A and B are shown apart, each in its own frame.
Chain A
Amino acid sequence: MAESSELKRTPIAERHVQAGAKMVDFSGWYMPVNYKGIIEEHHTVRNNVGVFDLGHMGQLDVTGPDAEAFLQYVATNDVSKLSRGQAQYAMLLYPNGGVVDDIIVYRRPDDSGFFIVLNAANTQKDIDWFNEQKANRPEFDVNLDHSSDRTGMIAIQGPNAEQVMQKITDVDLSPVENFWSVYANVAGAPCMLGRTGYTGEDGFEVYSPIDKILEIWDALFDAGSDVGIQPIGLGARDTLRLEAKMALYGQELSPEITPLEARLGWAVKFDKGEFIGREALLKQKEEGLTRRLVGFKLVERGGTPRTHYEIQVDGKPVGEVTSGTRSPTLGENIGLGLVDTEYAGVGKPLDIIVRNKPVRAEQVRTPFYKRG
């Protein structure tokens, strides 16, 4: 493990250590990978409620008269469609159509501007990139305020998330729909709550002043003790998101993979007008995809698919695994991979090369898991 003293710490880090978490270096942050065990934590979120420290993630406030127009230009989704408090998934693209990052954009509930959540590993790159676009297009009257250092973030996810969250929140959460947000006092602190997450379950992401986030963490555990609330590490965060087929930057998305190849075209709105990467994606669309993301499960024993494992058909390389795991919910070995288009299709076979041996897989519909 890296020297823990050199790593950045969230205000909640000491709680993880006290709880006996296995701590790792995650993009320069001292973060919990698991507490009791990935599989148990995974089931806790699917069946009950779990809490994630997301203090490593980045935040950016975009305000000013041209905030909306600027975001229309830099992000793939149609920000103009967002009502007050509404959120959407979007990507930032390079001109060649490769992905800078994938983000969540909230229109602030009071319409004071937009609030953007960035991946931890990409935060500084994204901030530099936003500033570069602003400098390139001075006609946009926009303010960029990198607020990561002032913002605490945790997620509470699972079928019992609303019930627990409600106990320490002063507004009624039942009318808040998926991908909407509200301002509320949480454990006495002024927060924004989004009904969002990265697990495939119902739940909330809570954004607070950074000096209040530890109190909120503790209050959630008090409020959820009767149902058995548990802290959840980054290990289960990955297995949960993969079952729900949510992309992970660096695996399903990268500067070398376009949103169309990653099957995220639903978050790209060509009809809204100019945006960075639009021409490249239109060209790719017109010419047709040469590869695309597929979901598969192994249909024979031989291990678990892992990132970068080769995919073959009849002994010929046709792609690469982007993510794989043993699915705790399904009890099967599942994965996502980028595959040459002619071999992609639900029901078609693939061979995943595990330790130089082909293991037979079948392409399946995704998401692998959808909440009932």
Chain B
Amino acid sequence: MVEIKSDLKYTKSHEWIKVDGDSVTMGVSDFAQSELGDITYLELPEPGEAVTRNEPLGVIESVKAASDIYSPVTGEIVEANENVVDAPESVNSSPYDDAWLVKIKLSDPSQLDELMDSAAYEKFVEEEGGH
């Protein structure tokens, strides 16, 4: 079964977001990692880089394919997880904890309102996730 954490928000491109004041931590969902399969490579932005909502902020590669990681919000990268770049397989084993990807300082907190809560994401995965 795919794990969906109730205290997180989600995007239609299968990123998760944890809100902490005026910044967020994000990663890819358990559904995303199980669809991608064995993760072999990650490319993440550097601290200080500007990111834009719904635009690629990085790349995730599995044995099968390369995919973009989309920024859920507009803002500035505060921190990128170097550990996950060195051990991409942790995206498979721990997508919500060890394999957080970046922290972003929000430009416009109202963008958070457009993200899905866990109930909406669960429904989305069931309906549009392909199963």
Q: Which residues of A contact B130 (CB under 8 A)?
A: 1
B38 touches A306 (CB 8 A): no
Q: Which residues of B contact A34 (CB under 8 A)?
A: 37
A303 touches B41 (CB 8 A): yes
Chain A residues numbered 176-201 whose CB sits less than 8 Å from any CB in chain B: none
For A1, A39, A306, A325, which residue has the most chain B Cβ atoms within 10 angstroms? A39
A30 to chain B: closest CB distance in Å? 14
Interface size on B, residues (CB 8 A): 14
A235 touches B63 (CB 8 A): yes
A242 to chain B: closest CB distance in Å? 11
Interface residues on A, range: 10 to 19
A304 touches B66 (CB 8 A): yes
Main secondary structure of the interface of A (DSSP, over half): mixed
A316 proximal to B (CB < 8 A)? no
A239 touches B41 (CB 8 A): no
Chain A residues numbered 290-339 whose CB sits less than 8 Å from any CB in chain B: 303-304, 306, 325-326, 328
Cα A160 to Cα B112 in complex, Å, equals: 54
B43 proximal to A (CB < 8 A)? yes
B59 touches A303 (CB 8 A): yes
Given contacts A1-B130, A38-B37, A38-B38, contact A33 B43 (CB under 8 A): no
In the complex formed, the residue of B with least CB distance to A233 is B37
Chain B residues numbered 33-77 whose CB sits less than 8 Å from any CB in chain A: 35, 37-38, 40-41, 43, 59, 61, 63-66
17 contacts between A and B (CB under 8 A): A1-B130, A22-B35, A22-B37, A34-B37, A37-B37, A37-B92, A38-B38, A38-B63, A39-B63, A235-B37, A303-B59, A303-B61, A304-B41, A326-B41, A326-B61, A326-B63, A355-B66
